[in-house]
Amino acid sequence: MTDTQPFVVERPGVYLGVPDDAYHADPVPGGSLSSTGARELLPPSCPARFRHRRDNPQPPKKAFDLGHAAHHRVLGTGPKLEVIERDRWDTNEVKARVKAIREAGGVPLKRAEMDSVEAMAKELRNHPKAAQLLQPGTGEPEASLFWVDLETRVKCRARIDWLTHATGAPRLIIPDYKTCRSAAPDALQKAIAEHGWHQQADWYEAGIRALGLHAEPVVVFICQEKEPPYLVTVAEPDPTARRIAAHLNREARHLYRSCVESGRWPGYTDDVALISLPGWVENRYAQEAL
């Protein structure tokens, strides 16, 4: 892989050491579908939004820096973290430095942010289950998987935080690290549904099975709060969530294939949408009418 020879995936497999920008640029000839893309194809999004985001990549956002930095410290790989020791970030000097760091693929951080990242990594190492799942030497960080779905023949890809080494165990536990507002189990129920993490888990497991890495992979989420005391919860989608996820991902692959073959990427609906008022408006009206 060099600056003059871009990374291209010619055959299915597991690829290590693939730079973030090379993976997200989709190195598969003809294009491939990721878990994020699969979720963007389906409601409340639509194929037109998926295609627009694919063709118009978004620049890095400051809001994501802490999460990216935490990934770096927890997984031991990723973009370079650079602290800018300045009280103000609105000067031309700092703006230029931030731009240069981002263009080089790094993450610019304030000193307080770096201190938070270090504290998060320390707290995670104190969590018995999370520390065990990410124990050095037990897996490979940032593994890129590329495979072909047998049913639809859609080319698929996944970027796995930590690909655990396969052993003789009946299940292969694959941890995925998430930063969140709250790691309380009740809050994670909403987060999993809102962000489609159950679909992400099913997508990763499908890739692992398709590549023959293990017959029974299980993705779990190591969820860590971004505010002190940086609490950690290891969460696993239940069987119902997994069945729903498998159905949604299958629908996404079929929809993707249809859009690619037809060249048409529809919006929310082609028909006239009959819109009801929110339930609370109808209830209030009914009460006032009485």
Provide the greatest CA pair distance for the chain.
74
End-to-end CA distance of the chain: 72
Side by side, which strands form the sheet with 139-148?
13-15, 139-148, 155-164
Residue 281 pLDDT exceeds 90: yes
Query: Over pLDDT 90: what percentage of the chain?
Result: 71
| pLDDT, tens digit (0-9, with 9 covering 90-100), for 210-236 | 999 999 999 999 999 999 999 999 999
Query: Over pLDDT 70: what percentage of the chain?
Result: 97
Position 4 scores a pLDDT of 59
What are the residues whose beta carbons fall under 8 Å from the beta carbon of 67, sequence distance 6 or more? 179, 226
For residue 228, is it within any domain? yes
CATH of the domain at 63: 3.90.320.10
Residue 202 pLDDT exceeds 90: yes
Host H or E run for residue 206? helix 197-210
Q: At how many degrees (to 10) do helices 197-210 and 185-195 cross? A: 70
Whole-angstrom Cα distance, residue 160 to residue 174?
A: 8
Gyration radius from the chain CA atoms: 21
Place of tokens 């504290």: 119
Count of domains forming the chain:
1
For residue 199, is it within any domain? yes
At 252, is the pLDDT very low, low, confident or very high (cuts 50, 70, 90)?
very high
Residue 194 pLDDT exceeds 60: yes
Question: Is the pTM here over 0.85, yes or no?
Answer: yes
For residue 174, is it within any domain? yes
Position 86 scores a pLDDT of 86
Position 1 scores a pLDDT of 47
At 290, is the pLDDT very low, low, confident or very high (cuts 50, 70, 90)?
low
What are the residues whose beta carbons fall under 8 Å from the beta carbon of 223, sequence distance 6 or more? 178, 179, 180, 183, 188, 191, 232, 233, 234, 235
Residue 2 pLDDT exceeds 50: no
User: What is the average per-residue pLDDT within 20-37?
Assistant: 94
Say which range, 105-114, 172-181, 256-265, has the weakest mean pLDDT.
Answer: 105-114
For residue 285, is it within any domain? no
Whole-angstrom Cα distance, residue 179 to residue 130?
A: 13
- Single-letter amino acid code for the residue at 100: A
47: containing domain = 13-262
For residue 279, is it within any domain? no
Place of tokens 């993450």: 107
What are the residues whose beta carbons fall under 8 Å from the beta carbon of 264, sequence distance 6 or more? none
Q: What angle do CA 108, 160, 42 make, to 5 degrees?
A: 95
Helix, strand, coil share (%) of the chain residues, nearest 5: 45, 20, 40
For residue 142, is it within any domain? yes
For residue 5, is it within any domain? no
| pLDDT, tens digit (0-9, with 9 covering 90-100), for 61-81 | 766 777 878 888 888 877 788
| pLDDT, tens digit (0-9, with 9 covering 90-100), for 233-248 | 999 999 999 999 999 9
For residue 187, is it within any domain? yes
Whole-angstrom Cα distance, residue 38 to residue 15?
A: 21
Whole-angstrom Cα distance, residue 130 to residue 137?
A: 15
User: What is the average per-residue pLDDT within 142-160?
Assistant: 97
